[in-house]
Amino acid sequence: MFENFTYETFAPHVGTEFHVRLPQGNLPLTLVTARPGVQAMLTGMRRMGFSLLFRGPAQFYLPANSYDIAHPRLGLLKMMFVCPVIAPIDPATGRPVQANHYEAIFN
């Protein structure tokens, strides 16, 4: 499924909410950034790599794993691997943003 997705698939959805499907309910994650890969494509690669950064609620920690994630426009993204990352710095305060952040990388 993910082999057809590119940076351009996700870039228009920055700022929108995705929902991680968990046994106890849906966990909302906001797509904060979509970044294209910075290296040239290697022979045999079907697409340029890219990464997605999500922000989630501070009171819930999502461990690194593969999850079914739903989005109103993209549909159900089955088994997307996300892992927690260090929160970005808020330029206004110079402190980490008070939320949990997660990254998905596609090669």
Q: Which two tokens stand for residue 12?
A: 């228009």
Q: Note the pLDDT of residue 49.
A: 83
Residue 15 has pLDDT above 60, yes or no: yes
pTM of the model: 0.88
3-class secondary-structure state, position 86: coil
| CA dihedral sign, ordered 18, 104, 41, 39 | positive
CB 65 within 8 A of CB 80: no
Ranges of each domain in the chain: 2-106
Q: Note the pLDDT of residue 82.
A: 97
DSSP 89: B
**CA-to-CA distance for 96 and 88, rounded, in angstroms?**
6
Residue 42 has pLDDT above 80, yes or no: no
Widest CA span in the chain: 44
